[in-house]
Chain A
Amino acid sequence: MKKIFAILLCLLFLTACSSNSAMVTEKSEAIISGDGVNYTKQDFFDDMKNNDYTSTIARAIYEDLAILEGYDMEEIENDVEKDLNDLKEEYGDDFETAASYYGGEEVLKESIRLSNLVEKLSNQYFEDNEESLLEEYHPVLGKAIYFDDLDSANKMLDLLNDGVDFDKAAKEAGYEEDIVSEVITDKSDLPYEVKSYFNDTNEVGHSNVLASVITSTDADGNSIDTNRYYLCAILDTDVNNFKEDFYIVLSENYDSDTIIDSYLSKYDVEVYDQRTYDLVHQTFEAFE
């Protein structure tokens, strides 16, 4: 008898070891029953996972990472309330309708909270990796505009060389668009010649005329070359003076999943449920 019991125990142990699904307590409790139907709590749990499960897990992960990073959760909640109130003020009487597009005020609030958490985690990641990111991006605060004709560009350059302010010189040379200062990096959507200027020049000032040929395709698939004549200005090279804007540029270039992934690796994430692994590991590579 003892021997049989030992074998059964051994088999039970091996079965438990090979189990790959996380079970809820009271898993056999019937949620729906009658006429031979026995739909258990575990069945219900597994079926509920079919609803946007990746987002649910991601949400839980962000929360855990925020705790692990030692964020002040009360401050986070206050920020959420503040953002929500700002939206209420902005939309006025239309707020309820606007919120309903998100699935109601509570869902909107949750969405703001997650977005804030991701932003906070991202900024933390950028700060921790600032040295390599500066090396990779070479950010400067600057302006870049172009003319379609060389004469106008030369006219503006003459004005700049005479000491006229960049915006004023542009207007006088016939430039009609608004001119904004922005964080320009090696990843900015600008021609090679322009990016080289920003990258190679490490001091405040303006460029010469930078000629660039832009190649595009017309409706018939023919290649068309267009000449553009750029004039650029570097306003600031010290990232500490425009760090917030630089982080915004970084977050536009970075997939937040990659950032979260680095946190998951940092804290050594372990997953114990096969379904969760199957659904989530494609989003977060460290999730295994």
Chain B
Amino acid sequence: MDIKDILKRFWFVFLIAAIFVVFIGVYAVNTIQNQPVKITAKEENGSYLIYSIGDESLTADDLYDELKESYGVSTLYRKFDELVCDKAIKTTSEMKDLAANQAAYFLQQYGEEEADAQMQSLGYGSSEDLDEYFLYAQKSQMLRADYLKAHYDEYVAPYVEENNPKIISHILIKVADITEEENEDGETVYTANPTEEEKAKLDEVVQALENGEDFAEVAKEYSDDGSASSGGLLGYFDDNNSTYVKSFKNEAMKVNEGETSEVFTSEYGYHIIYCNSQNVDEFYDYSEFLEAIYGDDVILYNAPLLEKAEELGITINDAELKEQLMSEISGEEE
């Protein structure tokens, strides 16, 4: 019997031997190249082990129960919301690009270590999940926005009526010398003492706007505010806003769509505000608008999630967790 015959007859023995040789070879190469430590799973009495110390050990099932008790509801909620949002809102390439940009910006701002910590505090593995998180955040916002659109009369109209929301832009001409004093009502009044250069800059801005030049272009050219590069756009603003100084808020609330405010002074210098829009349809793109309406109302915030889950037929099958979660987010015992 020559080698050819032996190979033909015992081909499966050689094949199995070859598989073992490849397996051992790969293992050896990995070891030699000092690859990160690879852990091998171990099963004992039908349960996988997480670790063993002396005669004691922790099984995956025991750990599952422990984790479920501590983090089960919060993890399930995040995942349920994520899965429903994902099914409800189709991913577009624009959304993917935006999420990737947001992730890159976040990583650049905070660095990998801080980004890892932030993501872990949100229940994600690491900064590698940033894209996934920002995509989910967009979808979650869209789901909540769609719900408000569908329930406009109930939630949006009263809020708009009461808080006069708008989208605004702004030009700042910084003035180094500002004096402040209290008026009769106890309010702080600011007076600018501009240099010739600062005054000339303001005059140019006022003249350009009077000549009908586009507000955004003027802002790009003259504004000393960080918003200059985006045409002075500050975004969503309403009567509940507490981010800006009082004089700014007062003036912002006065302007209507297409109007420009008078020049006014704050501790930072001269300001001019422009109202870009009072069209409610444009507000839904701003998370501040949604947050303003949903506020801290957990039941309202989760109403879109539960409605959509029911519509799509997505259900939680763990009865115990479902009961706990529903009592928190729907206000009803299951």
**Interchain CA distance A44-B79 in the complex, whole Å:** 9
**Interchain CA distance A14-B123 in the complex, whole Å:** 33
B residues in contact with A25, CB < 8 Å: 46-47, 60-61
A residues in contact with B53, CB < 8 Å: 61, 64-65, 68, 264, 267-270
In the complex, whether A227 has a CB less than 8 A from a CB of chain B is: no
**Cβ–Cβ contact B79 & A32, under 8 A:** yes
**Cβ–Cβ contact A48 & B56, under 8 A:** no
Check A7/B52 contact, CB under 8 A, given A25-B46, A45-B67.
no
**Interchain CA distance A7-B15 in the complex, whole Å:** 8
> Which single member of B16, B59, B60, B66 contacts A10 (CB below 8 Å)?
B16
**Cβ–Cβ contact A277 & B67, under 8 A:** no
A residues in contact with B38, CB < 8 Å: 20, 274
**Cβ–Cβ contact A20 & B16, under 8 A:** no
B residues in contact with A19, CB < 8 Å: 40-41
Question: Number of B residues contacting the other chain (C-beta, 8 Å)?
Answer: 56
> Which single member of A29, A44, A288 contacts B75 (CB below 8 Å)?
A44
**Interchain CA distance A48-B73 in the complex, whole Å:** 10
In the complex, whether A87 has a CB less than 8 A from a CB of chain B is: no
> Which single member of B55, B76, B87 contacts A44 (CB below 8 Å)?
B76
A residues in contact with B50, CB < 8 Å: 22, 57, 271-273, 276
Question: Could you give, for residues 42-70 of chain B, a 1 whenever the CB lies within 8 Å of some chain A CB and a 0 otherwise?
Answer: 10001111111111111111011011101
**Cβ–Cβ contact B315 & A33, under 8 A:** yes
In the complex, whether B74 has a CB less than 8 A from a CB of chain A is: yes
Within 8 A of B (CB), among A8-35: 10-11, 14, 17-25, 29-35
In the complex, whether A37 has a CB less than 8 A from a CB of chain B is: yes
Check A287/B317 contact, CB under 8 A, given A7-B16, A18-B40, A51-B123.
no
In the complex, whether A221 has a CB less than 8 A from a CB of chain B is: no
Check A48/B83 contact, CB under 8 A, given A60-B66, A276-B51.
no
A residues in contact with B37, CB < 8 Å: 277, 281, 288
B residues in contact with A10, CB < 8 Å: 16, 19-20
A contact residues, range: 35 or more
Smallest CB gap from A14: residue in B: B23
In the complex, whether B104 has a CB less than 8 A from a CB of chain A is: no
**Interchain CA distance A33-B74 in the complex, whole Å:** 18
Question: Could you give, for residues 148-174 of chain B, a 1 whenever the CB lies within 8 Å of some chain A CB and a 0 otherwise?
Answer: 000000000000000000000000000
**Interchain CA distance A229-B257 in the complex, whole Å:** 75
A residues in contact with B123, CB < 8 Å: 47, 50-51
**Interchain CA distance A60-B69 in the complex, whole Å:** 14
A residues in contact with B120, CB < 8 Å: 50-52
In the complex, whether A6 has a CB less than 8 A from a CB of chain B is: yes
**Interchain CA distance A213-B53 in the complex, whole Å:** 51
**Interchain CA distance A241-B269 in the complex, whole Å:** 70
In the complex, whether B6 has a CB less than 8 A from a CB of chain A is: no
B residues in contact with A134, CB < 8 Å: none
Check A34/B313 contact, CB under 8 A, given A3-B12, A19-B41, A271-B51.
yes
**Cβ–Cβ contact A272 & B79, under 8 A:** no
**Cβ–Cβ contact A24 & B61, under 8 A:** yes
Smallest CB gap from A30: residue in B: B317
In the complex, whether B314 has a CB less than 8 A from a CB of chain A is: yes
**Cβ–Cβ contact A31 & B39, under 8 A:** no
A residues in contact with B41, CB < 8 Å: 19-23, 272-273
**Interchain CA distance A193-B83 in the complex, whole Å:** 67
In the complex, whether B214 has a CB less than 8 A from a CB of chain A is: no
Output the least CB separation between B90 and chain A (Å). 13
A residues in contact with B321, CB < 8 Å: 31
> Which single member of B60, B79, B124 contacts A39 (CB below 8 Å)?
B79
Check A268/B54 contact, CB under 8 A, given A19-B40, A47-B75, A274-B39.
yes
> Which single member of B51, B72, B314 contacts A37 (CB below 8 Å)?
B314
A residues in contact with B314, CB < 8 Å: 32-35, 37
In the complex, whether B80 has a CB less than 8 A from a CB of chain A is: yes
A residues in contact with B20, CB < 8 Å: 10, 14
Smallest CB gap from B122: residue in A: A50
A residues in contact with B39, CB < 8 Å: 20, 271-274, 276-277
**Cβ–Cβ contact A45 & B19, under 8 A:** no
In the complex, whether A36 has a CB less than 8 A from a CB of chain B is: yes
**Interchain CA distance A276-B48 in the complex, whole Å:** 13
Check A39/B46 contact, CB under 8 A, given A3-B12, A44-B75, A47-B75.
no
**Cβ–Cβ contact B51 & A56, under 8 A:** no
Output the least CB separation between A268 and chain B (Å). 7
Query: Most A CB atoms within 10 A — which of B15, B20, B39, B317?
Result: B39
**Cβ–Cβ contact A56 & B316, under 8 A:** no
**Cβ–Cβ contact A56 & B66, under 8 A:** yes
**Interchain CA distance A36-B318 in the complex, whole Å:** 18
**Cβ–Cβ contact A56 & B317, under 8 A:** no
Query: Most B CB atoms within 10 A — which of A24, A32, A57?
Result: A32
Which 4 A-B pairs give the minimum distances between C-beta atoms? A22-B48, A267-B54, A64-B56, A34-B314
| A32-B80, A267-B54, A277-B39 given; 19 more Cβ-contact pairs under 8 Å | A6-B16, A11-B19, A17-B40, A19-B41, A20-B39, A21-B41, A22-B63, A23-B60, A25-B47, A32-B76, A35-B312, A37-B87, A37-B314, A60-B66, A268-B53, A270-B51, A272-B40, A272-B50, A274-B38
Pairs A–B under 8 Å by Cβ, sample size 7: A7-B15, A18-B23, A20-B39, A31-B318, A34-B315, A61-B53, A68-B54
